[in-house]
Structure 1
Amino acid sequence: MHKEEIVALAKRKLATCLWFDKQAEEAAKFYCSVFKNAKLGRTAYYPDAGQDIHAKPANSVLTVEFELEGMAFMALNAGPMFKFNEAISLQIPCETQEEIDYYWSALTADGGQESQCGWLKDKFGLSWQVFPDFMGDILTGPDRAAAARVMNAFMPMKKFDMAAIKKAFKGE
């Protein structure tokens, strides 16, 4: 990453901070390996100061900045007191079944967990939604009968099957 890219990343007005116990660097590298348009940024380390509060060893990773598909993130090593839950998730709208399959496999690997309706948790416990990019158009469109058929088709699914969803939309 070039210096000007690092400065631009640091000056963003909005970014997502992900709280980890001590896996921030591992997670940032993992997410950057999953997404093709990804960049690792700066890493900050805990100093000697403040150890009575943060209880982290000096020179251990404090934060790692990274970017996925143009979205800024910071991974923070701050201890085990907070865990991810489904109240927040990251969405990946996909154009093809191959994209859905790719992200689903990559994010459920090494201990990730499948859930319902295109939701999954990765090995760090972060929730993701992997879904066809046309779903919003169907569910908010004027054909309410088609939207109901699509919803009935995808509700029992774990990983989305685009062909089955398209058939449901057509009433097949």
Structure 2
Amino acid sequence: MSKVSTCLWFGNEAEAAARFYVSLVPDSHLDHVLHAPGDWPGGKAGDVIMVSFSLGGQSFQGLNGGKPADYGTAASISVECADQAEVDRLWTALTADGGKEIMCGWLRDRWGVPWQIVPRMLPRLLADPDPGVAGRVFAAMSAMVRLDIAALERAAAG
């Protein structure tokens, strides 16, 4: 595990969430599952209390806190996607079983964790030195829920 890690709070499904996440993102793996050595406020001895995992080379922890957290939108897991197939695959998997679409490439998975599913080309188009290109792309993105690469490229072209 790296020195700095993001810790996600779950009710009692940290291991299931971690296993699901690592199945979706390349270069990901489950590192360790820690079982409680004794009873604790969120559960019993032997229950999973924390999992350590890596998503795309980034270190995460999942903590079972006994009751689900409200994540808000101040932080999210952002995934850069090479193409529309990857955007669609992640979007479909993360919104399944109770996940919720938000807007502009944002969603919440079934545990309430916010994600941004972003095509690799989007930051480049938004940083185009021509303000007309960047403005059209921004307007197109702002009207989308799941980001559509072809539509963003059409907006860039005018």
> What is the TM-score with the length of structure 2 in the denominator?
0.94
Match of 1:5 in 2: none
Q: Which runs of 5+ in 1 are unaligned?
A: 1-8
Q: CA deviation at 1:119?
A: 0.5
Q: Does 1:109 align with 2:96?
A: yes
Report the more deviating stretch, 110-119 or 79-88: 79-88
Q: CA deviation at 1:61?
A: 0.6
Report the more deviating stretch, 136-145 or 118-127: 136-145
Match of 1:67 in 2: 54
What do you get for the CA RMSD once the two structures are aligned?
A: 1.4
Match of 2:19 in 1: 29
Match of 2:85 in 1: 98
For the 8 Å contact 2:9–2:68, the answer to whether it is kept is no
CA distance in 2, matches of 1:35, 1:135: 19
Secondary structure at 1:41 match in 2:
strand
Secondary structure at 1:64 match in 2:
strand
Instruction: Give the number of equivalent residue pairs.
Output: 158
Secondary structure at 2:117 match in 1:
strand
Q: Which runs of 5+ in 2 are unaligned?
A: none
**AA partner of residue 130 (structure 2):** D
Q: Name which of 9, 14, 18 aligns with 1:19.
A: 9
**AA partner of residue 39 (structure 1):** H
Match of 1:129 in 2: 116
Report the more deviating stretch, 62-71 or 132-141: 132-141
Moved over 2 A (4+): none
Which whole-Å deviations, capped at 9, do the CAs of 1:66-118 have from their partners, x for residues lacking one?
11110111100012263222111111111211111111111111111111101
CA distance in 2, matches of 1:157, 1:25: 32
The structure-2 alpha-carbon separation of the partners of 1:55 and 1:162, relative to structure 1 and needing over 3 Å to count, comes to: closer
For the 8 Å contact 2:42–2:65, the answer to whether it is kept is no
The structure-2 alpha-carbon separation of the partners of 1:81 and 1:129, relative to structure 1 and needing over 3 Å to count, comes to: closer
The structure-2 alpha-carbon separation of the partners of 1:48 and 1:157, relative to structure 1 and needing over 3 Å to count, comes to: same
Match of 1:157 in 2: 144
Secondary structure at 2:63 match in 1:
strand
Match of 1:119 in 2: 106
**AA partner of residue 25 (structure 1):** E
Q: CA deviation at 1:48?
A: 2.0
Identity among equivalent pairs (%) = 39
